[in-house]
Amino acid sequence: MIYALAFNLSVNLILGLALWLTWARERSQGFNRLLGASFLAQVLATPAYLLWRQSEGLLHSLGGFGLAASGALSMLMMVAGLRDLVGRPLSWRQATALGLGLLGLLGALLDQSIAAAQGSGAALNTLLGVAALRWLWPHGKAERLAGLSLVLIGLNQFTFALGGEAALGLQSSIGAALRMLLGISLLHAALRRSSLESRGLRTQLHYMTEHSHQGVLVAREDEPLYANAALLELYGVASLAEFKHYQQQQPASLRASALQRRRAIISGELPHAHWEGERRRSDGSLMRLMFSSWRIDWADGPAEHLVISDDTERYNATQALLHQATHDPVTGLPNRSALQQRLRELCAQARPFGLIWLDLDRFTLLNEAYGHATGDALLRAFGALLQAEFTPQAQTMHLGEDEFALLVTAGAEPALLHELTRRLRARLARPFAVDAREIYIDASIGVARFPHTASDPEGLLREASAAMHEAKQEPGSAERWAEASPRRSSSATMLAEQAMRAGLKNAEFELVYQPKIAAAGGALLSFEALVRWHRPSHGVVNPADFIPAAERTGLIVPLGAMLLQQACRQLSNWRAEGRLVLPVAVNVSPLQLHDPSFPAFVARTLQTFDLPAALLTLEITETAAVRDADQACERISRLNELGIKVALDDFGTGFSSLNLLRSMPLDAVKIDRSLIEPMPQRTASAVVRAICQLAAVLDLKVVAEGIETQAQAEAARAAGCNELQGFLFSKPLSASAAGDWLARQPEPALG
Ligand code: C2E
Ligand code: MG
Ligand code: MG
């Protein structure tokens, strides 16, 4: 008998756990937990029975209570579980009432004889079985079998009531077998339900994707695994195989980047992706698509799930609006707002460019004479001519009415701009064929250059337009060039000044060093220090573009002082490194020279860096010297007293008199590049020779600046120049490159 009881206990335990685990995997099926609990509660019945039967007193009562409790709990859980299974769950109140009722009833029965208790329990169970059979009947075969098992379990309990203790083993064994049947049919019912549910879900999903307006694609590597109807229609293909073929025709770069993204998505490196782009339909028409993708678990492993929507209409509408906003309706050319946008971009790039502003003369009269349709046709013909003639050097724009612009982005060299306006004017000399008429037109032309004229879009537009209006004063096609003037581009200048002040604080100014060479023998004699401004977001700015502004604002005084110190510090570093050290010439602005304390400042600086005066020379421009000759003479004399030599820079541009040259205590003259450039032409060489002869009489050295060719070098040498400087020998060098040159020199000369 004990074996039969143990068998019964094991069956209840195993099935209870199996149902509970089923619930743990599929929590939407709450009835499995209740049914599992019912089986587990039944496990308690066996030990409780043994305790009740084999002991007396308290333990006996405890066993009795356990028997009643396990019976009541098991029945309650079974009823609750089955009601849940059939979709009519018990309320809390019903469950509590039923539980307490069962407990009381079973407890009371135990006080009767065991046979009577068993008989009543069997009747109760049979009743429950019949009720369950009714609930379960409509729900399927497994459910019916479960109901039937419950009825049989109830009936089986009568075995004990009829056969007494001796029949307990038999009842227990049959009971275990029946409970096994019950458990298995319940498990089967649960499994069938969950498979039905997931199949339903799948069908729903499939229905949704198949009927979605968005394209859906599942793919792995370059193999499409699934495509919905919307996707096939979008791409204009009939089947997945055709779509695959279409994909294989795509450009290699597109396929490679798609593959790369797909691998990143599948590996989990990229959780999701969103992008858009243009694709061609199988019939070749263009469409604008938006894509989203993520990873999906597909039949035999992970894949990429893409959702694709067609954005062509919205995109085209926006593009059309954008085109309308940025193009002239008559000519279809980019309009004023497009020009402003382009100017902003170009100014930000900080590369030189030119703006040619054109305005047709007497266009209103022409409109009145021939009518607006002809006027429009003329504008179109003129626009087309500009485009045909000047693309790609310039972009043609139509600013409205009779105003056009050419944006010359291929550099703002004056020579190129002159060439373009010359060609334009040559073309305007011939008539335009419009509506079977020959019409002559004139245009007034204004030219502005970035950054020469102005360094901001507004300044350029203003200056080009002002220049065009000046040209309008002249009859016929005429052109005017806007000049950079402090009045005109005041806002740009203001900005540059602010930037310069900040630059001084942030140490953005740096000296470069250009060698001067002995005309005879070619030895390195000295360097000239030239300033460069590393202006943030503008790159390297040359002195010609900021020294005039620095002089206008007086900023040149602190800047010049700083540069003098920088040059001296460099000399002192070279000396400290034990290099051969040659003199460095520093350019001095007239404003610095004007300051009476300048010579004393130079002396102090030399002292600070412990440098001999012979290592420093100063260059002042001829124009500055001429402007206030007396003062210049006085300062140069004081500098000479300190042992510092001064050279007259840019000689030949400032109209200095012979008398001035004679009276100034100078060491050298530097002949301006404009006089050297035309050499070796005979007349140019003759002028340089005359300067050299004059300098020899006045005991001045002569330096030729801007030597670019061997022929110029030879001519300058032959004319009698003592020193040569120019790109032929070297461009201005960074301090370290100049230091390297010094290191290559044979032996110390000075310092
Ligand atoms: P500059 O003192 O007459 O300097 C000579 C200019 O000619 C330099 O231009 C130099 O780079 C350039 N150059 C030298 N060899 C050749 C050549 O073979 N071909 C051509 N095309 N150019 C050559 P950079 O550095 O742009 O300086 C321009 C001017 O700015 C200088 O003329 C000078 O007047 C002024 N400047 C430069 N640095 C300073 C400075 O630190 N302080 C002051 N006050 N003015 C400076
Ligand atoms: Mg100079
Ligand atoms: Mg010069």
> Tell me: the pLDDT tens digits for 264-279?
999 999 999 999 999 9
Residues 442-450, mean pLDDT to the nearest whole number: 91
Mutate to test the pocket of ligand 1, among 516, 517, 530 (most ligand atoms within 8 A of CB): 530
pLDDT reported for residue 486: 46
- Residue 751, pLDDT above cutoff 60: no
Neighbours of ion ligand 3 (CB under 5 A): 649-650, 705
- Rounded to an integer, what distance in angstroms lies between the CA atom of residue 306 and that of residue 226? 10
CA of 649 to the centre of ligand 3 (A): 5
Q: How much helix, strand and coil, in percent to the nearest 5, is found in the chain?
A: 60, 20, 25
Task: Give just the sign of the alpha carbon dihedral 35, 38, 43, 46.
Answer: negative
With 70 as the cut, is the pLDDT of residue 33 above it? yes
Three-class HEC string of 648-685? EEEECCCCCCHHHHHHCCCCEEEECHHHHCCCCCHHHH
How much is the pLDDT for 524? 92
Least reliable range by pLDDT among 257-266, 487-496, 571-580? 487-496
Instruction: For residue range 196-236, list pLDDT tens digits in order.
Output: 888 888 888 888 888 888 999 999 998 999 999 999 999 99
Strand partners, 437: 434
Residue 586: nearest ligand to its CA?
A: 1
79-83, 169-173, 450-454, 488-492: lowest mean pLDDT where?
Answer: 488-492
Whether 528 shows a pLDDT value over 50: the answer reads: yes
Q: What Cα–Cα distance (Å) separates residue 642 from each residue in 224, 236, 239, 612?
A: 87, 90, 95, 10
**Is the per-residue pLDDT at 35 higher than 90?**
yes
Cβ(344)–Cβ(457) below 8 Å: yes
Q: Are strands 701-704 and 668-671 parallel, antiparallel or unpaired?
A: parallel
The model's confidence at residue 749, banded by pLDDT at 50, 70 and 90, is very low
pLDDT at 658: 66
Average pLDDT value over all residues in the chain: 88
Looking at ligand 1, which residue's alpha carbon is closest to its atom 24? Answer: 543
- Of residues 164 and 511, the one with the higher pLDDT is 511
**What's the CA gap between 67 and 50, in Å, rounded?**
10
Best CA proximity match to 124, nearest among 159, 156, 154, 94: 154
Give the separation between CA 484 and CA 490, rounded to whole angstroms.
10
| H helix runs in 137-213, sequence order | 141-156, 158-163, 168-211
Residues touching ligand 1 (Cβ under 6 Å) are 514, 530-531, 542-544, 547, 560, 563, 587-589, 619, 621, 649-650, 673, 705-708, 725-727, 732
Give the side-chain half-sphere CA count within 13 A for 161. Answer: 16
What 3-state class would DSSP assign to 609? coil
Identify the band that residue 494 occupies on the pLDDT scale cut at 50, 70 and 90: low
Say which ligand is closest to the CA of 725.
1
Nearest to 5 by CA among 38, 52, 37: 52
Between 418-432, 564-578, 623-637, 725-739, the lowest mean confidence (pLDDT) is in: 623-637
pLDDT at 669: 92
- 605 confidence band (pLDDT: 50, 70, 90): very high
The amino acid that residue 137 corresponds to is: W
What distance in Å separates the CA atoms of residue 590 and residue 588, rounded to the nearest whole number?
A: 7
Give the separation between CA 728 and CA 716, rounded to whole angstroms: 13
pLDDT at 261 over 90: yes
Q: What is the pLDDT of residues 276-335, one digit of tens each?
A: 999 999 899 999 999 999 999 887 889 999 999 999 988 888 888 888 888 898 999 999
746 φ, ψ (degrees, to nearest 5): -65, -55
Q: Is residue 614 over pLDDT 70? A: yes
pLDDT given at position 271: 92
- Least Cα distance to 354 among 420, 399, 401 occurs for 420
Is the confidence at residue 395, as pLDDT, over 90? Answer: yes
Under 8 Å between Cβ of 479 and 445:
yes
pLDDT greater at residue 192 or residue 578 = 192
Rounded to the nearest angstrom, the distance between the alpha carbon of 544 and the centre of ligand 1 is 8
Candidate of 570, 587, 592, 595 to mutate for ligand 1, largest count of ligand atoms within 8 Å of Cβ: 587
Residue (of 730, 673, 661, 743) closest to 699 by Cα position: 661
Does the pLDDT at position 489 exceed 80? no
CB half-sphere exposure, 487, CA atoms < 13 A: 3
Model confidence band, residue 734 (pLDDT cutoffs 50, 70, 90): very high
pLDDT at 488 over 50: no
> Is 487's pLDDT higher than 50?
no
H or E element that contains 302 = strand 301-310
